[in-house]
Amino acid sequence: MTVPLALPALAARPVLRHLETFGDVPKSVRTLMESGVTRLLDSDMIITQPQQVPDAVTTGEAASSSIHAAGAEMAETILPQIEAEGLADHFKPLMRSFVRILFGLFLSPEQCERACACIDAGNHFSFLASDAGGPSLSSWRSVAHAEQGGIRLTVDKVWGIEAHREGMAIVAARGPVSFFPAAYVVWPEAYRTLRRTPHGDPFLEGRLQLGNVKGVVSLTRDERVKSGGPAVFNKYLTTVRPFFVRGLMAHVGWLGARDRVALDEGDARVHAFLSEAARVQSRAGRYDVDNVHRVLAIKFASNEFLNDLVRKGAVARFGDQRDLLAFTKMEGSSYHCYHALRNSTKSQ
């Protein structure tokens, strides 16, 4: 007779079933996932929590395509440097490799050439998704309207990496189709005219400053990003998240070797499991439903690991605590990842 699973174990299935595809999941990872999801459950999730193990969705779209490889190669060369020297000095190069991936997915060949020349000339690049209106697209304050011969883009974005600096940006805004955000390229001449302010104290020993951006710019119709289709944001995040988690795990290893993080035996197993799962996933090179879910599970697990280290006092310095918690939000918070994974199961 099979013993019925307790609620925390059932609630963790949408995450664990994807982590299990990477091999034996250590007990410390299971425990962490169960306590993580139980803490996150909102009212709707508790009300609708089934008592059986949920089935996988069988009707998901089977979109599948290869990912852009140039940026991935760049990221591979940076990761050993993070292992040896920590993330602070290598965060921006890692982000630049992500920018190459993003250009490959979002931009036409002509736009891509112009954008690469632009950042090679020393301009900063910002990807501005987080909106001053909050997480729901319907309340976003960044909106695009058609105007004679072009587009009038109202920008009100928060928390962009180095977004206060001179440079260019891809801005997500509410566009003509309301279910998905649309993306717009804002070249340096237009970006310069927006009000840009640093926001909060920097992270990573002063190397990472967030900024807010506000104002209105006129764009041509060509500056609306058309490549990649509506799934382009998801495609980008699915591609870069495993590299990001590898970078985070390399950084935790580096902090551990300097007694800035104390990893016990269980933590060491979580660290080894996640490092390997993220490494395997970063080489999958495919974008399809299974890979999207595996990546969400890895980012969720990484968030919960970092959060747990800080919560139990394993991270000695305030600056490291703040950095690690911030990285649990960047490129996918636990709530966001878990919400999407639950929706990928049938019995909601």
Ligand X SMILES: Cc1cc2nc3c(=O)[nH]c(=O)nc-3n(C[C@H](O)[C@H](O)[C@H](O)COP(=O)(O)OP(=O)(O)OC[C@H]3O[C@@H](n4cnc5c(N)ncnc54)[C@H](O)[C@@H]3O)c2cc1C
**Where along the sequence are the contacts to ligand X (CB under 6 A)?**
40, 42, 127-130, 134-135, 159-161, 203, 210, 326, 329-330, 333, 335-336
Answer positive or negative: Cα dihedral of 118, 122, 128, 132: negative
Considering the complex, state which of residue 279 and residue 339 has its C-beta at the smaller distance from ligand X.
339
Phi then psi for 224, rounded to 5 degrees? -80, 130
Name the minimum Å distance from CB 213 to ligand X: 10
Considering the complex, state which of residue 157 and residue 224 has its C-beta at the smaller distance from ligand X.
157
The residues, ordered by sequence, that sit 6+ positions from 5 with a Cβ below 8 Å of its Cβ are 13, 53
- The span from the CA of 152 to the CA of 322, in Å, is 37
Phi then psi for 128, rounded to 5 degrees? -110, 100
Name the minimum Å distance from CB 159 to ligand X: 4
What is the total residue count of the chain? 348
Considering the complex, state which of residue 67 and residue 213 has its C-beta at the smaller distance from ligand X.
213
Name the minimum Å distance from CB 170 to ligand X: 10
Cα–Cα distances (Å) from 77 to 83, 94, 254, 284, 327, in that order, read 11, 9, 17, 17, 21
Considering the complex, state which of residue 244 and residue 287 has its C-beta at the smaller distance from ligand X.
244
Give me the DSSP letters along 221-269.
Answer: GGGB--TT-TTHHHHHHHHHHHHHHHHHHHHHHHHHHTTSB---HHHHH
Name the minimum Å distance from CB 336 to ligand X: 4
Considering the complex, state which of residue 273 and residue 304 has its C-beta at the smaller distance from ligand X.
304
Phi then psi for 127, rounded to 5 degrees? -105, 110
Name the minimum Å distance from CB 41 to ligand X: 7
Name the minimum Å distance from CB 4 to ligand X: 25
Considering the complex, state which of residue 25 and residue 88 has its C-beta at the smaller distance from ligand X.
88
